[in-house]
Homo-oligomer: A and B are copies of this chain.
Amino acid sequence: MTSAWFDKHRERLDAAVAACASREYYSAFDESPSPRVYGESAAAEGKAAFEAWLGTDFPLATPGSDGTVATERSPYGFDLAVSYPRARDTDALIRAGLSGMKAWRDAGPDARAGVCIEILDRLHARVFELANAVQHTSGQAFVMAFQAGGAHALDRALEAIAYAWVEMTRIPRTALWEKPGRGEPLRMEKTFTVVPRGVALVIGCNTFPTWNSWPGLFASLVTGNAVVVKPHPSAVLPLAITVQVCREVLAEAGFDADLVNLAAEEPADKLASSLALRPEVKLIDFTGGNAFGDWLEKNATQATVFTEKAGVNTVVLDSTSDFKAMCFNLAFSFALYTGQMCTAPQNVYLPADGIETDDGTKTPAEVAAGIGAAFEKLLGDDAKAVELLGGVVNEGVLTRLDAAGADGARGEVLVASRTVTHPSYADATVRTPAIVGLTAADADVYEAECFGPVAYLISTSGTDESIDLFRTTVQQHGAMTAAVYSTSEDVVEQMRDSALDAGVALSENLLGGVFVNQSAAFSDFHGTGANPAANASYTDGAYVASRFRVVQSRRHV
């Protein structure tokens, strides 16, 4: 069955491998939730499947669990009340994972890739159910949840599998080594076997439970490791479904379902930190805040740790050929999912004297007004606004938003946040972004990440200072993304150079349908690992190469 699955998925794997090498456009999973693509009934069936979980015990048997936890509340205003086994016994989790690894190792890279892509296919068959689960844990609007949490997450997972498969199959299974000598050559037959590292731990986040967890999960699984998935307590369901599908496919292929387990918890259980220090845990993938990410990097030294943390994403405004399009593009990036993307821009540096545009010089206040006008178009209508904004993921975001606009807070509120009423969910928490004016002197404010819908327009003495601040802020505090608007080739060239120094990806003059916070699987690297915001990237060789080792044997022939 596993070799049949490899054959079945081979064409798609080859296409993914080719795209990773060319970095040209490729997608294996259609991002349009349209009935024309997925069929007339798919959306309704997926919603019903999601709703059927509400108030139930999710059917997963986590080894060593004790009782259940139900920790999820939709940002749209209702409790999910899905109960999951409460993982309590790290010994039992680790033991269960280790027990199936030998057969999984011996299956080899092709068979494992076949199983993993089959899992993606089965997840794809449940993509509307997953999209609903992502929507009502992260707060993403439905279409975004379908795309980022479904189709794009599947693409990112396939990308990780493709990279890992290439890495595992770079060396032959056997080789004949013949060293010339005086008489007969020395001849040896050598066998090379990919062996796993141990148990892998995947620590999920609240905002992108699938998109940020699947690359690590599948990169570790396809390389032969067992995986313990520790979801964020507020976003369990998307990963519970994931684990359910992994276990189903593994068992169907004759492998131990316990190769993948869900470790749900009460937040106070601190399961992630106790699992992370287990000597058997050799791989850790983490998405979340800097404090715990830094702790993992410093303390889980028995493991290879991949982190995506936080930073201050930066835009440098110098000049533009299309002021309206620039304002619209920035406004969209601020508003998309209420600025709760790790890639959303936060710091916008621009000369206090203003920037040259096709519509004359624009001062910082006028730029703010331009962005405000774009917000009006994008978010003026509540029913439309909620489809872009989604819901506020948690209380922390709301607190930071309120503080940014409060009396006594540093800076001037140039565009105020507005409360939006959701037409379908009366108790949903929905806000538009705030734009706060600062100056270069307010470093203590803008050098920290203010996760959520707050952007700073920071007045500088000119573009040179803007670029300097960009470089030093990112070097010290990290960033997932950066952007520049300039009609000057010199300025763009300076920004490219500074982005290399700062180790951050740069988007230049985005005026159309691409936004700085979006990264496309197979082409855009997400994170670089070259600045403090993340020590890894989706997906490069470094993301997969240390998830396995090669063990050889040799003999004379």
Contacts and interface: CB of A to CB of B under 8 A. Distances in A.
Contact of A542 (B501, B505, B545): B545
Contacts of A487: none
Nearest to A512: B556
Contact of A545 (B23, B175, B508, B541): B541
Contact of A23 (B25, B192, B553): B192
A177 interface: yes
Contact of A505 (B172, B176, B545, B551): B551
A186 B524 contact: no
Contacts of A501: 102
A341 to B, nearest CB: 17
Contacts of A167: 541
B546 A496 contact: no
B549 A23 contact: no
Interface in A156-178: 167, 170-172, 175-178
- Give the residue among A22, A175, A549 with the most B Cβ atoms within 10 A: A549
Given A171-B21, A528-B550, A550-B525, A177 B508 contact: no
A523 B550 CA distance: 12
A244 B496 CA distance: 34
A555 B178 contact: no
A313 interface: no
- Classify the secondary structure of A's interface with B: mixed
A360 interface: no
Contact of A554 (B180, B508, B529): B508
A510 interface: yes
Contacts of A530: 195, 197, 549, 551
A36 interface: no
Interface string A11-33: 00000000001111100000000
A506 B553 contact: yes
A178 B514 CA distance: 12
B556 A509 contact: yes
B513 A186 contact: yes
Interface string A477-507: 0000000000000000000100111011111
Interface string A527-557: 0111000000100111001100111111110
A408 interface: no
B193 A500 contact: yes
A556 B23 contact: no
Given A500-B551, A511-B556, A551-B528, A190 B23 contact: yes
Contacts of A188: 514
Contacts of A190: 23, 523-524
A105 interface: yes
A298 interface: yes
A172 B525 CA distance: 13
Nearest to A516: B554
Contacts of A356: none
A513 B181 contact: yes
A301 interface: yes
A369 interface: no
A154 to B, nearest CB: 17
Nearest to A194: B500
A552 B504 CA distance: 8
B537 A549 contact: yes
A270 interface: no
Contacts of A500: 105, 193, 195, 551
Contacts of A524: 190, 552, 554
Contacts of A175: 22-24, 523
A142 B541 CA distance: 40
A500 B102 CA distance: 9
Nearest to A541: B545
A297 interface: yes
Contacts of A510: 556
Contacts of A21: 170-172
Given A190-B523, A195-B530, A540-B549, 9 more contacts: A24-B175, A171-B540, A195-B500, A503-B551, A504-B551, A512-B556, A524-B554, A529-B549, A541-B541
The 9 A-B pairs at the shortest CB distance, nearest first, are namely A23-B175, A541-B545, A530-B549, A508-B555, A542-B545, A506-B553, A542-B546, A545-B545, A298-B301
15 contacts: A23-B171, A23-B175, A23-B177, A186-B512, A193-B500, A503-B549, A503-B551, A506-B551, A507-B554, A507-B555, A508-B553, A508-B554, A525-B550, A541-B541, A545-B546
